[in-house]
């Protein structure tokens, strides 16, 4: 899954609470694990980073965000935590066909309880990783996410259009 899939599907998953959370932090939260882990992996600065699902995909980060959101009564932190939770859920769902024992999301989410190591995967470059994004599951999730975002945008716009047409018909 990539940007539209994580943002569109993630926001749709929390549609009941979406209006109570600030949308920009929620959207950033849906991408936060990858915003942390992809640069860590591709920088190749630390040999401990062995995959694109490491610290940003941990339950530790999710609990820290959620805990800080509750402790400081911060809607922004709660939105980031909610978005990150949807990201992990979607990554986990994407790992299910390969089996739980190989789930890089599950290994990262349970870190450090999972043995203190992350899964190992080798991507020679961002270009090679980008080519993997052309798989049918990724393209399908991007299409679904884009359609969900379009539907959300149209539903938010509809009341304003209705009000404007009501005003015109009243005149």
Give the H or E element holding residue 36: helix 23-43
The position carrying tokens 């599950």 is 106
Number of domains in the chain: 1
Statement: residue 7 has pLDDT above 80: yes
Q: Give burial (CB, 10 Å; 0-12/13-18/19+) of 163.
A: exposed
DSSP secondary structure, 90-122, as one string: HHHHHHGGG-GGG-HHHHHHTTTTTTS------
The pTM of this model reads 0.86
Tens digit of each residue's pLDDT (9 = 90 or more) over 48-72: 999 999 999 999 999 999 999 999 9
Closest listed residue to residue 140, CA positions, set 32, 27, 4: 4
Res. 106: pLDDT tops 60: yes
pLDDT, residue 157, reads 80
Contact 35, 54 (CB under 8 A): no
In terms of residue numbers, what domain contains 17?
3-170
Whether the predicted pLDDT of 76 surpasses 60: yes
Higher-scoring residue by pLDDT: 89, 132: 89
């Amino acid at each position: 899954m990539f940007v539209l899939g994580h943002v569109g599907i993630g926001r749709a998953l929390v549609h009941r609470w979406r209006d109570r959370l600030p949308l920009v932090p929620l959207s950033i939260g849906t991408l936060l694990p990858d915003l942390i882990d992809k640069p860590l992996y591709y920088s190749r600065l630390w040999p401990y980073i062995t995959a694109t699902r490491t610290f940003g995909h941990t339950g530790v980060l999710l609990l820290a965000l959620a805990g800080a959101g509750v402790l400081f009564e911060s809607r922004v932190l709660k939105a980031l935590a909610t978005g990150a939770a949807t990201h992990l859920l979607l990554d986990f769902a994407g790992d299910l066909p390969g089996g739980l024992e190989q789930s890089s999301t599950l290994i990262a989410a349970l870190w450090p309880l999972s043995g203190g190591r992350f899964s190992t995967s080798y991507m020679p470059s961002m270009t090679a990783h980008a080519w993997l994004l052309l798989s049918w599951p990724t393209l399908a999730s991007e299409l679904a996410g884009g359609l969900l975002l379009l539907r959300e945008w149209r539903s938010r716009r509809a009341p304003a259009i209705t009000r404007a047409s009501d005003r015109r018909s009243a005149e």
